[in-house]
Structure 1
Amino acid sequence: MTPNEELCVSLLGRYDQGKVRRANWESGWNDVAAYVLPRKRDTVRQPSSAAVNGPASAPVRFDTTATNAVRVCAGGLLSSLTPAGELWFRFNPSNPGVSSAVKSWLDDCTHRAAEALTASNFYLSIHECLLDLSAFSLEGLFIEEGLAFQGAERGELLNFVQVPVGTFTIEEDAEQRVDTVFRTFFWSARQCAQKWGEERLSKEMREALASKDPAAQTRQFEIVQAIYPRRTGEFVSGPAIPDKRPVASVYIDVASRHIIENGGFYEMPVAVARLLREDNMIYGTGPADEVMPEVRMVNAMRRSFLLALEQQSNPQWLGPNDGSWRPDNRPGGIIYWDTSDSKNKPERLRDTARLDFIDPAIADSRQIIRQAWFNDMFQMLNRPEVLEQKMTAFQVAEMTQEKLLLFSPMFARITRELLTPALTRVFNVLLRREVFEPVPEDVNLGELSYQIDYVSRIALAIRQAQTGALAQTAQMLGAMAQFDPLAAHVIKWPKAGIMVARNAGVPAEIIRDEDELAAIQQEQQQAQRAAQLAQMAGAANQAAGAVQKLGPDAQRAATDAIGGAS
């Protein structure tokens, strides 16, 4: 076999093994698709052909509480974590002691990146990702350069593709970070030719492209994209051709086992996030796994409630087994019966079901489901006074403190596995394509170190927990300082002030670092000493003038007194 054939067989084998491992989660995903997001049912089932999801139909669903709860959760994440039209992240220097030029440059990069995200399809794709993350506890987001960088007359700088759950497999590195993704999708030969060119297509694809048969023209080919890190020696550092870059990207036509493209990226282009990860649960876990029994139960109770309600509104008829009458359920209808025997008179079956017992039980289960998806927290975060910024982040944190404590592990994983990789990819793409201003002259691009700080409502509310602890400690230390002034020096107040400013989302370029604060303190101390010396000199001059006004005898007496005192 040729090297390409060996690579193709190896990658497809890894993909097949990934699907075997993923099978443990597919039954749970099918339950979520059936009871929570019915429109995802065909995608999760991993069809063998390019089946297109039609209108959501789920005959087993009698209650939509879980569906609504997931949509509230996804919408709450979008508006509270990545709000469109607001600056919800900042590129800040990792070392606060860098020059102001670097801080200003990173601040400009922040605004340019935010504009690029707004102009792209980021907010459309991220909402779908957050829906998957809320429901299935798993999502995939593919970030690529937009058509504007590919010579198109119209297009954006960035393009984001939501990778549906059930269409990809993942592998982790030694630190449990997703570094390998196999994703599958279905394209026609025409679509493949538009992306890669006709010369790169397989024989079957070229035949379908040249055919005049509508069935051949619209035939969907299964494409697998393998994204994985290349080994040392297989790539070069710095600028390189696609197949020599650190992250490999190989597109394969599965039917013909043909490699369409063997390229690569400078950084991981796919951000795969798990809402929670426990033990060896590589595909993650989340609220759906915990409350699926409640979802099933409220669905069954709702079905029973509807049946009982219908039973009461239209109960069955009781009649003799040899009767010939026909019930007429129309309003004002007439029912004829044999009057020769009063026992033959038809009557309704009396239903003794207690519907008042069912309703509270359903309400309790619904509340459990909504709480599992943090609906109450997101509804508080989306109150008008919060949206209009009439409440401070500290007030929001106090209002939602209990819920934030439960949500913070999920927030940490969302930022670590979804937002930070995505924004890092965006930063690098825009930097390479010179969308940013030139790097300051005194900065070595290879040594440039930055961090991503999140300044959305929920991010600031979580960080305000630290500020609240500091405020409480400061209050207690103030009381202790009345007994021992040394207590006031327990905390490094300048450093604490910097932390408070950062937690409040203040831009790094207007926050002084510790060196600047130390210099200001030194200047103040020098000015204070100079003022004291000037005051002492003035007092000495006044004393000398007073002595000169005395007579000779008084001057000698004053001199003797000073000498005696010394």
Structure 2
Amino acid sequence: MDYIRTSEALLEEMRSHSGEWDWLRRHIMPHTQADADQNEHPGSTIRRLHSTVACDSLHILAGAHIMYITPTGQQWFSLKSGKEGNEKRLRYDNWFARATEITHKELAKSNFYTVIHQCFIDRCLTGTGCVFCSKLPDGTLNFKHIPTGTYALAEGRDDIVDTVVRLIKLTPHQAVEQFGSEKLPRRILDAWDDEKRRYTEKHQYLHLVIPRSGAAFGHDLVNPLKMKWASIYMAWDADKTVIKESGYNEFPFLVTRFLKFGESPYGYSPGMNVKEEIKATLKLERVMDVLGEVAAFPRLLTMADQVGEIDMRAGGRTVVKPQAAGMNMPREWATSGRYDIGKDRIQDKEEKIRQAFYVPMLQVISSVDRQMTATEVNAREGEKVLAFSPSMSLFISDCNTLINRIFSMLFRMGKYPTEDMPDELVVRDQGGTEDFEIKIPAVSYNGKISQAIERAQRNGGDYYIQNALAYTQATGDPSMIEIVDMRKYGRFLYESTGAPTDCLRKEKELEALDQQRAAAAQQQAQLEAMQGTAKAGRDIAAAQK
């Protein structure tokens, strides 16, 4: 396969979108020092290049991603068995619950939550966010944010991204440490030999991750050159030579799109809908700044012979000739303007910008000027989550790839318990070799969006049970309550609270309790039968007397 031509084609297609991304960065969240310097000088010709309202709205939306989807310190996803309606699934629930806790602890130990916030900012700013997932030498998970504009994408089946080309810059010291010196071009090795250039000069490299045709079966012992995804590193600005070829068992990138339209693999940003409002707001603010300066320091119309004679100081005195006084000179000139109309227009356009970034839906409930009951809080929260969920639904399908990558890495490192491990997770080679592949478990998300759905399920379950109990008490007929497996319902309620799974009894312990309860009930029945027999004997003896 011609990796160079493939990479060039993907990068060329990516650059067709870079103009839009650069515009969004420049006008919403500038990153360059030049933009920052211009903002330091409000009296310059261009007073501001970016919209502060759009920037604030962007951060609110990115923060909502953390709050509603990946809340720090909470179990925002759960690993589940993929076997539905199987008795073994109940036995393995505790294993999956324990594996879920281990996965979240490993994420908390890593830099995940710092990097995912950067990814969310890119997702909301340019429409596409990207994170690379790997591990450190000590086994700690490691994540790296890949900025938009430095990578190109391609999709496979079902519109799922399976190919990434990213450009990276490394010093000669970093390159030798990562790739060794055997295959590095002479140009880079010369820089590495120079102590002044070894740690400062940077060269561009390209990393291509692409599905490998003819990959070998296996997950742990397979040759890296036969893994499912090929990993190709090239010295891009030095002869475009391949310096390292390896592979991945899983796709190592999280690529998430805010919205997706058409056939492009890149996402659509909410800021694209309000480009005209952002430009108009910036223009109006410049006009309003001029109007404010003119109001504070009005323009003056003077006679030619009054040049240099007007005292503009506070309390200053200017002596005018009778001719100038008769013509009302000096006087203010061209200072009229409707500041209120300009302010109203800015507020209208800023409100459209906030709406594009979902800010009205994400306003905190505490802004309400009255005390609300718990029921009202839940209702208001539910409305907000349901209104916000359509823009977040795409993240769930995108994130499955990342969860699969994390689970597989932790599985290979032996982080999960081996006792009672579900047999559904390992697929053995039918040819009799020691190779195996990991079958990824099902994933359910427990962020506030999913919690709102679960809350509706709990409310529905509670409503039914209350009515079933009332019916049973009134009629003595238990048929309505018997159709509910109270143990399953109790487990659902317990897990939905986020309580620690270590406190849950294992399925074997529950079976032992059932056996003890059945044995106790049998003994009680036998005792009652013996007591009944004895009483009947006494009654017969008494009757005979």
TM-score, normalization by structure 2? 0.79
| Equivalent residue runs for 1:296-311 within 5 Å | 296-311=279-294
Question: Does 2:409 correspond to 1:429?
Answer: yes
Please state if 1:346 is matched with 2:333. no
Distance 2:13 2:513 in 1: 60
Give deviations 1:476-535, integer Å, cap 9, x for gaps.
888999999899479756465555444444566767899999999999899889988987
Q: Does 2:67 match 1:91? A: no
- Aligned residue among 230, 237, 249 for 2:231: 249
The equivalent residue for 1:362 is 346
Rounded Cα–Cα distance in structure 1 between residues aligned with 2:354 and 2:226: 49
Match of 1:460 among 424, 444, 451: 451
Given the alignment of the two structures, is residue 313 of structure 1 paired with residue 299 of structure 2, yes or no? no
Q: 1:179 to 1:442 in 2, by over 3 A?
A: closer
Question: In 1, Cα distance between the equivalents of 2:125 and 2:290?
Answer: 29
1:27-106 to 2 correspondences below 5 Å:
27-39=19-31, 55=36, 57=38, 59=46, 60-61=48-49, 63-95=51-83, 97-98=87-88, 102-106=92-96
Deviates more, 1:244-253 or 1:403-412: 403-412
Tell me the amino acid that sits aligned with residue 30 of structure 2.
Answer: P
* Partner SS, residue 38 of structure 1: coil
Percent of pairs identical after alignment? 22
Name the residue aligned to 2:162: 179
Shift of 1:56: 6.8
Q: 1:30 to 1:300 in 2, by over 3 A?
A: same
AA partner of residue 414 (structure 1): F
Q: Extract unaligned runs of 5+ from structure 2.
A: 40-45, 428-438
- Displacement, 1:27? 2.9
1:374 and 1:403 in contact (8 A); partners too: no
SS at match of 1:19: helix
Give the aligned partner of residue 129 of structure 1: 119
TM-fit CA distance, 1:404 = 1.4
Greater CA drift, 467-476 or 174-183: 467-476
In structure 2, C-alpha distance between the alignment counterparts of 1:490 and 1:357, rounded to whole Å? 68
Change (3 A) 1:244 1:72: same
TM-fit CA distance, 1:430: 2.3
Equivalence for 2:181: 198
Would the alpha carbon gap of residues 376 and 520 (structure 1) be closer, same or farther in structure 2, given more than 3 Å must change?
farther
Amino acid at match of 1:425: R
CA distance in 2 between counterparts of 1:498 and 1:56 reads 58
Of the candidates 7, 30, 35, which is equivalent to residue 15 of structure 1? 7
Instruction: For 1:237, give the aligned amino acid.
Output: G
Q: 2:147 aligns with which of 143, 164, 174?
A: 164
Structure 2 SS opposite 1:262: strand
Partner residue of 1:26 out of 18, 22, 28:
18
Query: What letter is aligned with 2:441?
Result: Y
Question: CA-atom RMSD, angstroms?
Answer: 4.2
| Matching of residue 287 in structure 1 with residue 306 in structure 2 | no
Contact 1:227–1:247 (CA<8 Å) still a contact in 2? yes
Q: Is the contact made by 1:439 and 1:445 (CA closer than 8 Å) also made in structure 2? A: no
Describe the shift of the 1:536–1:209 C-alpha distance in structure 2 as closer, same or farther (beyond 3 A).
closer
> Relative to structure 2, which stretch is displaced further, 304-313 or 240-249?
304-313
For 1:242 and 1:145, locate their aligned partners in 2 and report how far apart those are by CA, in whole Å: 16
CA contact (8 A) 1:275 1:284 kept: yes
Secondary structure at 2:281 match in 1: helix
Distance 1:540 1:453 in 2: 57
What residue number does 2:212 align with? Answer: 230
Paired residue type of 1:252: M
User: 1:398 is matched with which residue?
Assistant: 379
Farther-moved stretch of structure 1 (196-205 vs 103-112): 103-112
Aligned residue for 2:43? none
What secondary structure does 1:340 align onto? helix
Between 247-256 and 20-29, report the one with greater CA deviation: 20-29
Cα offsets for 1:95-118 (capped at 9, x unmatched): 474478854444444344333323
Write the distance in 2 (CA, Å) between the matches of 1:221 and 1:364: 47
Q: Which is worse superposed, 455-464 or 190-199?
A: 455-464
8 Å contact kept, 2:82–2:442: yes
- SS state of the match for residue 113, structure 2? helix
Contact 2:98 2:501 (C-alpha < 8 Å) held by counterparts: no
**Is the CA contact (8 Å cut-off) linking 1:455 and 1:505 kept in structure 2?**
no
Where does residue 271 of structure 1 map in the other structure? Answer: 254
Whether the 8 Å CA contact 1:339–1:345 is kept in 2: the answer is: no
Deviation for aligned residue 1:16: 2.6
Amino acid at match of 2:383: E
The number of residues matched between the two structures is: 516
Deviation string 1:127-153 (CA, Å, 9 cap, x unpaired) is 21111112112111001121325xxxx
Query: Is the contact made by 2:385 and 2:448 (CA closer than 8 Å) also made in structure 1?
Result: no
CA contact (8 A) 1:338 1:344 kept: no
Give the whole-Å Cα distance in 2 for the aligned partners of 1:514 and 1:116: 26
